[in-house]
Amino acid sequence: MLTSYLKYGANNDPIQVTKLQNFLNSYEKMNVNVTGIFDKQTENAVIAFQTKYSLHVMGPWNRNYGTGYVYITTLKKINNITCSLPLTLNGAEQSIINEVINRKAITKAVIVTPNTSNQIEVKGNNDVNKNVPVLEIETESNDTNVALVSKPSVIGKFWNFIKSLFR
């Protein structure tokens, strides 16, 4: 049924998008306008589909939430439903998925320990902590909390620089 990857904002083949939209309406009983354009409505319907079949679609990626991107496993699940094609991954597809899973994560869990002076001590992966924006916490106790700290993007670094000029 589908032969190409699709996503919002990409230069998608309108015939493929139309097939996707018809699939979402016919098989998944969604109310998607069939326009041949991968719009936000289509993206949201794909996310709902990915959530419904998250074990097969998002599980191989070690994710439990949809992305809206009709990529390897989403395409396979759609073709499995419509054409009874197997859900097995070939070597190249598995390599792509493994690369994504094994890629250095942008966000890592770290331990944040507030102390009485409202300073914090961050314990975790050192390269994640480089250039980490200042975390401000208000707490009345000295309990240990877990937080997610993400490396700032170039835009984030620029924004932090601009903010520092006006402090």
Each of the 167 residues of the chain gets a pLDDT tens digit; together they read: 999 999 999 999 999 999 999 999 999 999 999 999 999 999 999 999 999 999 999 999 998 889 999 999 999 999 999 999 888 999 999 999 988 888 745 444 445 555 555 444 444 444 444 444 444 434 444 444 444 445 556 677 777 777 777 76
Task: Let me know: does 111 contact 146? Beta carbons within 8 Å.
Answer: yes
Task: Let me know: does 27 contact 81? Beta carbons within 8 Å.
Answer: yes
Residue with tokens 């979402």: 24
Residue-level pLDDT at 100: 85
Rounded distance between C-alpha atoms, residue 145 and residue 163, angstroms = 27
Q: How many beta carbons lie within 10 A of that of residue 126, not counting itself?
A: 8
Report CA dihedral (149, 151, 155, 159) to the nearest 10 degrees. 50
Rounded distance between C-alpha atoms, residue 167 and residue 72, angstroms = 47
DSSP 70: B
Residue-level pLDDT at 19: 97
Residue-level pLDDT at 127: 43
Task: Give the distance, in angstroms, between the CA of residue 129 and the centroid of all CA atoms in the same chain.
Answer: 22
Residue-level pLDDT at 32: 96
Rounded distance between C-alpha atoms, residue 125 and residue 99, angstroms = 20
Task: Let me know: does 151 contact 106? Beta carbons within 8 Å.
Answer: yes
Task: Give the distance, in angstroms, between the CA of residue 44 and the centroid of all CA atoms in the same chain.
Answer: 13
Residue-level pLDDT at 133: 44
What values do phi and psi take at 108, rounded to 5? -130, 150
Q: How many beta carbons lie within 10 A of that of residue 65, not counting itself?
A: 10
- Which H/E stretch holds residue 7? none
Rounded distance between C-alpha atoms, residue 145 and residue 142, angstroms = 9
Give pTM, 2 decimals. 0.62
